[in-house]
Structure formats: structure tokens, C-alpha cells
């Protein structure tokens, strides 16, 4: 199975956004993960469109935008306009997932759907054939630097089995508490894309850390 690492810009140094984005651009990571928080869906506020535009200018890698905002359908087109290649929204954050999916597709991006740690995998069944990716949160969304919730491994396995059963090649991405120490078991559980924020940006050598996660 393919392996991808998506360093999370939430842990970057915002005083050196260009430098940190270019580091990812040079590295073995193929995706750049962007966490957008509104202070309503999660108890934290991160950044929005202008910051995304600046990141877009500094890399040609895939921009993986993770929306932790309520009513994402109101904003998805604008995220695609400023450079998102993939837009992931939370199933718990919208009354109308179908509308959200349709708007992201019409705007020309790939579609991801995410669930929080307490949301069962089964709630994704009816959407699985309509999205390109599912993002399993392995911490409570809102902050970087938390510990990986071990119960996420069985959710990843369950999701992989569900996709196989439905004959779908849906990508599985996992976000929260990932490091070189647990990356192997998360990949082996069935994930293809691992998000890593603090593990990458707190490392003395972030580029080698990305490689260590990729080759775990």
C-alpha cells in the first residue's frame, strides 16, 4: 500500500511560514496538511484564507485542507480558490454532507470526510462511495501535541475492512499524535496518509523525521 506523510502546518513557526513550507516542499512528504479552526467546532482558532494563499505560493505539493469549522458548505469553494487540492470536512460539523461533497467537487477539488474519536466508523458507510478520503482523528481535534488515542487503531482496521467489503479504494488518513514511534502500526492497520505536526516541527532535523515516519 502507498505511504504518504502530511506534515501539519499548525506546528510550523508562523514567523517563518515561507521557510517551513519550503522545507516540506524539499522533503519526502508529498502532502502539506492545513488545519483550519473556527473556535466553534473546536475550542481553538488557527488561520484562514490569506495564510493558505501564502502557503500555496511556497509549495507545489498537494494542499490537504482539514476544516474544523461549522457549516463548512458555506466556505469550501473559497478554500479551493486559494489553493486547496483536497478539502476535508467533519461529518459532525454539517447538517448537509451531500451538499458539502457536491460543492467541493464542483469547485474542482478532491473530497475528504473526517470523524472525531467518539464518532463510530459505521456512520461513514453511506458516504464512503462518495468521498476520496476518510480522515480518522486519533486525538480530539483542536490542538497539536496530544497523545495518540490507542482505540483509533481498531477504527482504522474497521474502516479498511468496510472499504474492502464495498470494493472501494477510499484513502485513509490518520491525524493526531503520530510519530516515528507509532507510524508503523498505524500504516499496518490500513492507513495510507499520516499527518504529523509536532513530531516533524519539534525535531532537530524535520526532513529526516519525515523520512523516519515514512519508513517506519
Among 66, 90, 155, 160, binds Zn ion (CB under 5 A): 66
146 contact choice in Zn ion, ligand DX5, none (CB below 5 to 8 Å, kind-dependent): ligand DX5
User: Which string of x and - marks every residue 24-63 that binds ligand DX5 (by CB under 6 A)?
Assistant: ---------x-x----------------------------
Task: Tell me if 159 sits within 8 A of 138, measured CB to CB.
Answer: no
Q: Output the CA angle 76-94-189, nearest 5 degrees.
A: 90
Among 86, 113, 131, 178, binds ligand DX5 (CB under 6 A): 178
How many chain residues bind Zn ion (CB under 5 A)? 3
| Long-range contacts, stretch 197-206, CB < 8 angstroms, 24+ apart | 197/7, 197/8, 197/10, 197/11, 197/33, 197/144, 197/145, 198/11, 198/144, 198/145, 200/7, 200/8, 200/11, 201/7, 201/11, 201/12, 201/13, 201/20, 202/11, 206/7, 206/23, 206/27
Among 97, 142, 190, 206, binds ligand DX5 (CB under 6 A): 142
Q: Is 96 a catalytic residue?
A: no
Tell me the three cell numbers of residue 129: 462511495
What angle do helix axes 49-58 and 17-26 make, rounded to 10 degrees? Answer: 50
The whole-angstrom distance between residue 5's C-alpha and the CA centroid of its chain comes to: 10
Minimum distance between the CB of residue 214 and Zn ion, rounded to whole angstroms?
Answer: 18
Among 176, 193, 213, 214, binds ligand DX5 (CB under 6 A): 176
Q: How far apart are the C-alpha atoms of 210 and 216, rounded to whole Å?
A: 10
Q: How far apart are the C-alpha atoms of 72 and 94, rounded to whole Å?
A: 7
Nearer to ligand DX5, 8 or 170 (CB): 8
Nearer to ligand DX5, 37 or 109 (CB): 37
Q: Is 64 a catalytic residue?
A: no
Task: Tell me if 190 sits within 8 A of 156, measured CB to CB.
Answer: yes
3-state secondary structure of 169: coil
Among 196, 210, 213, 216, binds ligand DX5 (CB under 6 A): 196
144 contact choice in Zn ion, ligand DX5, none (CB below 5 to 8 Å, kind-dependent): ligand DX5
Decide if residue 35 touches Zn ion (CB under 5 A). Answer: yes
Using CB under 5 A as the criterion, which residues of the chain lie in contact with Zn ion when the complex forms? 35, 66, 175
Catalytic residues: 35, 175
Using CB under 6 A as the criterion, which residues of the chain lie in contact with ligand DX5 when the complex forms? 8, 10-11, 33, 35, 66, 139, 141-146, 175-178, 195-199
Amino acid at each position: 500500500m502507498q505511504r504518504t506523510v502530511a506534515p501539519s502546518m499548525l506546528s510550523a513557526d508562523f514567523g517563518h511560514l515561507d521557510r517551513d513550507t519550503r522545507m516540506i516542499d524539499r522533503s519526502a512528504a508529498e502532502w502539506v496538511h492545513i488545519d483550519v479552526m473556527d473556535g466553534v467546532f473546536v475550542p481553538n482558532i488557527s488561520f484562514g484564507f490569506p495564510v493558505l494563499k501564502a502557503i500555496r505560493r511556497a509549495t507545489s505539493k498537494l494542499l490537504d485542507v482539514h476544516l474544523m469549522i461549522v457549516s463548512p458548505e458555506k466556505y469550501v469553494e473559497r478554500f479551493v480558490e486559494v489553493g486547496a487540492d483536497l478539502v476535508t470536512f467533519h461529518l459532525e460539523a454539517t447538517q448537509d454532507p451531500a451538499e458539502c461533497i457536491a460543492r467541493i467537487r464542483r469547485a474542482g477539488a478532491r473530497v475528504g470526510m473526517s470523524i472525531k474519536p467518539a464518532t463510530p466508523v459505521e456512520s461513514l458507510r453511506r458516504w464512503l462511495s462518495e468521498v476520496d478520503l476518510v480522515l480518522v482523528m486519533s486525538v480530539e481535534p483542536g490542538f497539536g501535541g496530544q497523545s495518540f488515542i490507542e482505540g483509533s487503531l481498531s477504527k482504522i482496521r474497521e474502516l479498511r475492512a468496510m472499504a474492502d467489503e464495498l470494493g472501494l479504494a477510499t484513502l485513509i488518513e490518520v491525524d493526531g499524535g503520530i510519530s516515528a514511534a507509532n507510524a508503523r502500526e498505524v500504516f499496518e492497520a490500513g492507513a495510507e496518509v499520516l499527518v504529523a505536526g509536532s513530531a516533524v516541527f519539534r525535531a532537530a532535523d524535520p526532513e529526516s523525521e519525515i523520512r523516519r515516519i515514512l519508513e517506519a
